[in-house]
Structure 1
């Protein structure tokens, strides 16, 4: 793609380090491959401790967060520290690589403060990449619509007001951008989080991960309050204790604030020997677990947040040709279609029964897995989303050139 001038982008992300955050990294590498100079500001994380490095031509600036927040006060401290360091490092990028566009990935919905500053005083453009609907996320975490919920709605509105262009991960998020955020529909681009098949490789199973049992049920994702790991463990308990299925091991890949609590819950309900918790794992460990699993699960709690959100894990399961069991959520159905069975919302017993249905029917597993794999290859892989990202950027720079 020919450019009259070099296009320079600064990506802001607060909740995960790069290149660990897959969506952000796919966006960054796509932009770099199309001639953009790309810089990222993000926190440090396990295995990503360097304050500055260049990876695949992308400049990564990292800062240290004191702890992983829990509770309103914890988030206030975390976000304040993150904003301070992000603003500080943005100036460092400005005087080194430079940037024409700030690409802000939420949460939190406070990065508009930095984007707005550089837009007002430095004539930069601001692109908002809408990863989470924060008002619904707050409600999911704390179970209430109080002053802070209304504050989240206000921050979200101000973010959209500041944005020149916004990117939505699905049609539900696009609708929020237009109706609640007041965005012009022509300035909202849907860019789904499609997987890359060169990363999600189909490997030979590792039988030792089954711990001597016949079947493995796999999960990958965050161990947090709204991810429903407690519901999954209740499903496992029903399957093991009530249905007498001692032939099933559960492999749970991922870290998060609830990991220790979930390990204790597995012990308390007597199924600890049937559940493997890996904690945060490498790509290789993730691939080994999922490739070994006969069935993969998504126990995300049925709430407004999860109903409207597209979960990366669903696409990853499908890319590996795995049949899925999940609760019946709007965007979950949009993504998986016939690759999944859908349990009644927040019903761990029904989820257990759906898991057993798949474990006992290898033909159904094969058909569902093949459907999911083909859907990713033909419709959902990142190669189909990359042009939409580039279209959003062309809109940003077209608007910039008219000024």
Structure 2
């Protein structure tokens, strides 16, 4: 509930404020890097900032849009208006603001006017775990009649991420590709249980496999065993602006990925570098998954183009950008003794 979120956030902000305040006399922080949510957690760094420390606010998710999606409320909701107000003041308080993609950057600038302090550092996979593998056609994995065509979903199993759409699309794909199956990875949720309970009605009990949560290293192995990754997001104001890290995880390992056509994704990819479907459209999702199965060579060519974009944003490059921004921030201010 909204009140539950507020209570948890307020308690955590208080604990963080006390810890930073009590530690500051002995630690003398030069920089405090704070991740949302919530945005107002940045005020936990009040005391270090008063004594000259620089404060970085890392906005991974825009809270107003996420709140609208989770609680199904409109922009005029008091809760959304409040989070937008707090976002603006949190950005004003910070010395540097980071966010995860160009679409979010434009959104935060439009609401805060703080263009000079907002930069993008993308959240891309750890290259030491997701070691780059050039996309190539694995003849042994080209689906033949009666053989499996493995579709993979991994991540948070909540409604906005659209696992139920992936299941509906699977039922359509299996009409022409009977060996198609869906492997699902992630912590169990009530939403997942609801989706799984509907499988018998769709006659998909043997085609959908829930395999539980996995470590990042285990996910690498799972991706290697799939034919295509799927990002089956439902349409919402949040999924319109999101750029899922999972896209880069599949691309890093040379696997085709079917992802939604949205501003957060199309800020980086086009139809030549990613297999795109209309956000929230199950028929189009099914058609694009079938296309990957029927045209594996073309799908691999698309993946190769996607890998070119991925390599521009590998974590080693994004990390250097983060370190450079932090160093520049510290140079602009007086160092603490």
Distance 1:400 1:355, change over 3 A: same
SS of equivalent residue, structure 2 residue 330: helix
Q: Is the 8 A contact 2:31 2:55 kept in 1?
A: yes
Please give the secondary structure, in 2, of the residue aligned with 1:325: strand
Cα displacement (A) at 1:129: 0.8
Q: 1:171 to 1:256 in 2, by over 3 A?
A: farther
1:247 paired residue number:
179
Structure-2 residue corresponding to 1:197: 127
Please report the TM-score for the alignment, with normalisation by the length of structure 2.
0.86
Q: Distance in 2 between matches of 1:197 and 1:350?
A: 32
Q: CA deviation at 1:213?
A: 4.7
Partners of 1:296 and 1:215 in 2: CA distance: 11
Shift in Å at residue 244 of structure 1?
A: 5.2
1:1-400 superposed matches below 5 A:
71-91=1-21, 93-94=23-24, 97-120=27-50, 122-145=51-74, 146-183=77-114, 185-201=115-131, 213-240=147-174, 243=175, 245-255=177-187, 257=189, 258-337=191-270, 338-377=272-311, 379-400=312-333
Q: Structure 1 unaligned runs (5+)?
A: 1-70
Give 1:191 deviation, angstroms: 1.1
CA distance in structure 2 between the aligned counterparts of 1:280 and 1:88, rounded to whole angstroms: 34
SS in 2 for 1:293: coil
1:213-249 superposed Cα distances (whole Å, 9 cap, x missing partner): 5210112221123211221122122223xx2533011
- 1:279 Cα offset (Å): 2.8
Deviations 1:192-216 (A, max 9, x none): 1233333113689x99xxxx95210
Secondary structure in 1 aligned to 2:69? helix
Larger relative contact order (C-alpha < 8 A, sep ≥ 6)? Answer: 2
Aligned equivalents of 1:234 and 1:81: distance in 2?
Answer: 41
Q: In the comparison of the two structures, how many residue pairs are matched?
A: 324
What is the CA distance between 1:267 and its match in structure 2? 4.6
Distance 1:197 1:180 in 2: 34
CA RMSD of aligned residues (A): 2.6
SS in 2 for 1:249: strand
After superposition, what is the alpha-carbon deviation per residue over 1:240-289, rounded to whole angstroms, capped at 9, x for unaligned? Answer: 3xx25330111122226433333334455432321122332112321122
Q: How far off is 1:97 after superposition? A: 4.8
In the alignment, is the contact (CA less than 8 A) between 1:215 and 1:247 conserved in 2? yes
- Tell me if the contact between 2:241 and 2:263 (Cα under 8 Å) persists in the aligned partners: yes
Separation of aligned partners in 1, 2:279 and 2:108: 26
Tell me by how many angstroms 1:94 deviates: 3.4
CA contact (8 A) 1:314 1:336 kept: no
Deviation at 1:340, TM superposition (A): 1.8
